[in-house]
């Protein structure tokens, strides 16, 4: 039987992926694997992904340790494959005894997630711990050793004045952004370069609340949970159809604007791992209940890190429901290359004047931001006015869209 050693390199497994974090090795060195058997779990900016063995054979080398990152094109592992007719010429890893152990880059801590968790539980600052593992990697033993009190301190000779005990200082905690949070940080940096124009309204939502209450009972009978997000999505889609300049993308390189024929609506979702924006494709083709099902499915996929590339690719407009988290009014940031984003806050009772009398009405905070290179102030005002009208008078739109 022919045997060859194959290098497995990290490929671009996501939209524009440049690097990934190695979370866990599923197969140790020296163990036999079958073709397509998962070997390693990596974390991209959108999901946890298990990478499979390219052939049946024995894992001979882990090139990257768990808890560290690898760039696209880097070797992740080597496998001595059976039944492979070609041979990949690679330089075998230098034995550990012959390797110099370089110090980790300044400011970077090499430690596995389990080691970091132990350090956090024990209150140990990893930046003060000397790692004994390969390349200065900190092990659990290093963390426990750092917790042991120093002994042999010299004693004082004479009497000293009593010192009032002071409460210990709080410990700083430094973490390296990874996965979703790192992707979000980079996206927000790019977005901040966009010249924004924003406008705000408070909309009377009394009729919207009444319609939602009526439709919620119908939806429950159909087995669908009807929250406010799909209603906001339906209203936003209708407004975008009236104002196509808001449903567009801007290409900085060619300085061109493309008004999209369909509404690919991004729904900002907070997850334990960070903010992600799954996309409802062709949202204008969906009924209200279909929107509710799709948004719930995307939210669940986001929470469980199972979003696909199609579900996280570029959209044409984004919606953020800050009211779901108790937020009142904020300034949403445009998600380039999109040119617009709408934010819906938390409805609250407020005193307003109606027909010359002061009455209490539920007011919904509404904010819209746009890329001012593409959208003029008048166009933004027209769009948010349409949103305001559809929210204040939702019956015709929503009752016919179930």
- Whether 206 and 57 map to the same domain: the answer is no
Helix axes 288-303, 228-242, angle to 10 degrees: 120
| Sign of the dihedral defined by the CA atoms of residues 308, 312, 313, 317, in that order | positive
Query: What is the average pLDDT score of the chain?
Result: 83
Q: Which of 42, 102, 37 is nearest to 66 (CA)?
A: 42
Of 81, 98, 116, which closes a domain? 81
Distance between CA 296 and CA 290 in Å, rounded? 10
Q: Residue 357 sits in a domain of what CATH number? A: 3.30.559.10
The answer to whether position 59 is within a domain reads yes
Counted domains in the chain: 2
Of 30, 50, 81, which closes a domain? 81
Of 109-123, 165-179, 358-372, least confident by mean pLDDT is 109-123
Structure tokens at 252: 């900085």
Split at pLDDT 50, 70, 90, the class of 109 is low
Question: Beta partners for 340?
Answer: 370
Mean pLDDT of 35-60: 87
Split at pLDDT 50, 70, 90, the class of 102 is very low
Quick one: pLDDT at residue 264?
98
Distance between CA 231 and CA 398 in Å, rounded? 8
- Does position 49 have pLDDT exceeding 90, yes or no? no
Determine how many CB atoms are found less than 10 A away from the CB of residue 74: 14
Of 86-100, 110-124, 252-266, 354-368, least confident by mean pLDDT is 86-100
- Whether 196 is catalytic: no
Which domain covers residue 211, as residue numbers? 195-399
**More confident site: 6 or 90:** 6
- Whether 77 and 209 map to the same domain: the answer is no
Q: What is the pLDDT of residues 232-244, one digit of tens each?
A: 999 999 999 999 9
- Whether 212 and 357 map to the same domain: the answer is yes
As a whole number of Å, the CA-based R_g of the chain is 28
The answer to whether position 232 is within a domain reads yes
Quick one: pLDDT at residue 273?
81
Distance between CA 140 and CA 146 in Å, rounded? 10
pTM across the whole model: 0.63
Phi first, then psi, for residue 251 (nearest 5°) are -100, 110
Mean pLDDT of 338-344: 97
Q: Which of 234, 340, 205 is nearest to 295 (CA)?
A: 234
The answer to whether position 10 is within a domain reads yes
The answer to whether position 297 is within a domain reads yes
- Whether 254 and 394 map to the same domain: the answer is yes
Residue 307 near residue 300, CB atoms below 8 Å: no
- Whether 210 and 75 map to the same domain: the answer is no
Quick one: pLDDT at residue 95?
34
The answer to whether position 190 is within a domain reads no
Quick one: pLDDT at residue 108?
56
- Whether 221 and 75 map to the same domain: the answer is no
Quick one: pLDDT at residue 287?
93
The answer to whether position 55 is within a domain reads yes
Of 125-139, 158-172, 280-294, 363-377, least confident by mean pLDDT is 158-172
Quick one: pLDDT at residue 138?
81
Of 66, 81, 96, which closes a domain? 81
The answer to whether position 142 is within a domain reads no
Split at pLDDT 50, 70, 90, the class of 93 is very low
Mean pLDDT of 94-117: 51
The answer to whether position 319 is within a domain reads yes
Q: Residue 74 sits in a domain of what CATH number? A: 2.40.50.100
């Amino acid at each position: 039987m022919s045997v060859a050693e194959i290098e497995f390199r990290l490929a671009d497994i996501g939209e524009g992926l440049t690097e990934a974090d190695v979370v866990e090795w599923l197969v140790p060195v020296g163990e036999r694997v079958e073709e397509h058997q998962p070997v390693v779990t990596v974390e991209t900016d959108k999901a946890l992904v298990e990478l499979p063995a390219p052939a049946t054979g024995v894992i001979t080398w882990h090139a990257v340790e768990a808890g560290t990152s690898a760039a696209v094109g880097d070797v992740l592992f080597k496998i001595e494959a059976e039944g492979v007719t070609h041979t990949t010429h690679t330089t075998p890893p230098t034995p550990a005894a012959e390797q110099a152990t370089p110090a980790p880059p300044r400011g970077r801590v090499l430690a596995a997630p389990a080691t970091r968790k132990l350090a956090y539980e024990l209150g140990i600052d990893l930046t003060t711990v000397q790692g004994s593992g390969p390349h200065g990697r900190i092990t659990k033993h290093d963390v426990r050793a750092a917790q042991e009190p120093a002994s042999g301190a010299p004693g004082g000779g004479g009497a000293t004045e009593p010192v009032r005990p002071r409460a210990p200082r709080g410990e700083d905690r430094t973490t390296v952004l990874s996965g979703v949070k790192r992707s979000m940080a980079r996206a927000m940096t790019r977005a901040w370069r966009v010249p924004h124009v924003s406008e705000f309204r408070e909309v009377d939502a009394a009729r919207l609340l009444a319609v939602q209450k009526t439709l919620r009972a119908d939806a429950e009978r159909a087995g669908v949970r009807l929250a406010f997000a799909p209603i906001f999505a339906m209203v936003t889609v209708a407004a975008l159809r009236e104002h196509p300049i808001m449903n567009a993308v801007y290409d900085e390189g060619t300085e061109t604007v493309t008004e999209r024929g369909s509404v690919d609506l991004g729904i900002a979702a907070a997850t334990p791992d960070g903010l992600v924006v799954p996309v409802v494709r062709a949202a204008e083709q969906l009924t209200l209940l279909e929107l509710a099902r799709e948004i719930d499915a995307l939210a669940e996929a986001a929470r469980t890190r199972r979003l696909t590339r199609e579900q996280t690719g570029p959209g044409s407009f984004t919606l953020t429901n800050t009211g779901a988290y108790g937020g009142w009014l904020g300034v949403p940031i445009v998600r380039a290359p999109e040119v617009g984003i709408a934010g819906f806050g938390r409805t609250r009772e407020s005193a307003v004047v109606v027909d010359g009398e002061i009455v209490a009405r539920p007011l919904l905070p509404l904010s819209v931001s746009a890329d001012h290179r593409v959208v003029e102030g008048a166009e933004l005002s027209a769009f948010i006015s349409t949103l305001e009208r559809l929210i204040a008078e939702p019956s015709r739109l929503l009752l016919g869209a179930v």
